[in-house]
Homo-oligomer: A and B are copies of this chain.
Amino acid sequence: MTDNATPSAVASQRIATLIRDQILDGSLAPGERIRQEEFAERFGASRIPVKEALRLLESDGLVTLVANTGAWVSRMSEEECAEAYQIRERLEPLLLHESMKNLDDATIDTLDALAFEMESCTDVETFLRLDRQFHLLSYSAARTASLAEIIQRLWNSTQHYRRAYTLLVGIEHNQITHNHHHLIVDALRRRDADDAESALVSHIRRTRSELARHPEVFG
Contact = CB atoms under 8 A, between A and B. Distances in A.
Contacts of A144: 83, 86
B94 A90 contact: yes
A61 B8 contact: no
Interface string A164-200: 0000000000000000000000000000000000000
Q: How many copies of this chain?
A: 2
A94 B84 contact: no
B90 A146 contact: no
A91 B86 CA distance: 10
Contact of A87 (B56, B59, B83, B91): B91
Interface string A29-63: 00000000000000000001001100110011100
B59 A147 contact: no
A12 B80 contact: no
Nearest to A16: B55
Per DSSP, are chain A's interface residues mostly helix, strand or loop, or mixed?
A: helix
B147 A87 contact: yes
A214 to B, nearest CB: 21
A24 interface: no
A59 B59 contact: yes
Contact of A56 (B48, B55, B145, B157): B55
A55 B8 CA distance: 14
A86 B80 contact: no
Contacts of A106: none
A52 B47 CA distance: 13
Contact of A10 (B67, B86, B146): B67
Contacts of A128: none
Interface of A: 8-10, 12, 48, 51-52, 55-56, 59-61, 67, 79-80, 83-84, 86-87, 90-91, 94, 143-147, 150, 157
7 contacts: A9-B67, A55-B55, A61-B146, A80-B145, A80-B146, A86-B94, A87-B94
